Structure formats: structure tokens, C-alpha cells
């Protein structure tokens, strides 16, 4: 599955100045995913830009912009 030209904005416009990032708003998550292509993505938010979760394989990511800095670009959760 191919996802291209994605824009995610996880901000709250009515929040008080300096605190407009909405929490727990991952930009792109995978769960039980296989053969994923993610290209040309822009993420603005206060959580993980990309969260690759359990049982996800063959994930290709290219040309991703994440802000504000610092934020986690890729969060890898591995169950043991």
C-alpha cells in the first residue's frame, strides 16, 4: 500500500499561546502492516511522527518532515 503527499497538522487553534500541540496524536501508525510505502509526508504535532508497531514488516519511509523539533521521527515498539 502506498501513501504519498500526506500533511498532518495536530494543533489546536483555540489553545492558549505556547501550548497548542495536541497530545497523543501520532502522525502515522502501523499495526499488523506489511509492504507499506510512505513518501512525502509533513507532520506538525506533539507526538510521534511515525510509530511502527508490532507485527509490521517491509516498511519504506522517504522524505518525511517533522516539526516542532525535537520530536520523535520514528518510534519502534517491539513486543517481547
pLDDT tens-place string over residues 4-52? 777 777 666 666 666 655 667 788 888 888 888 888 888 887 778 888 8
Distance (Å, rounded) from C-alpha 74 to C-alpha 63? 13
* pLDDT for the residue numbered 26: 81
Q: What would the mean pLDDT of 65-73 be, rounded to a whole number?
A: 61
* pLDDT for the residue numbered 62: 86
* pLDDT for the residue numbered 8: 74
Residue 26: active-site member: no
Instruction: Specify the DSSP class assigned to residue 21.
Output: B
Catalytic member of 4, 5, 26, 47: 47
Distance (Å, rounded) from C-alpha 58 to C-alpha 60? 6
Three-class SS of residue 2?
strand
Whether 67 shows a pLDDT value over 50: the answer reads: yes
* pLDDT for the residue numbered 21: 59
- The reported pTM is 0.67
Amino acid at each position: 500500500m502506498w501513501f504519498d503527499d500526506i500533511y498532518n497538522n495536530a494543533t489546536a487553534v483555540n489553545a492558549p499561546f505556547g501550548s497548542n500541540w495536541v497530545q497523543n496524536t501520532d502522525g502515522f501508525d502501523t499495526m499488523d502492516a506489511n509492504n507499506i510505502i510512505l513518501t512525502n509526508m509533513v507532520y506538525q504535532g506533539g507526538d510521534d511522527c511515525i510509530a511502527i508497531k508490532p507485527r509490521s514488516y517491509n516498511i519504506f519511509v522517504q522524505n518525511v518532515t517533522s516539526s516542532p523539533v525535537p520530536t520523535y521521527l520514528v518510534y519502534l515498539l517491539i513486543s517481547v
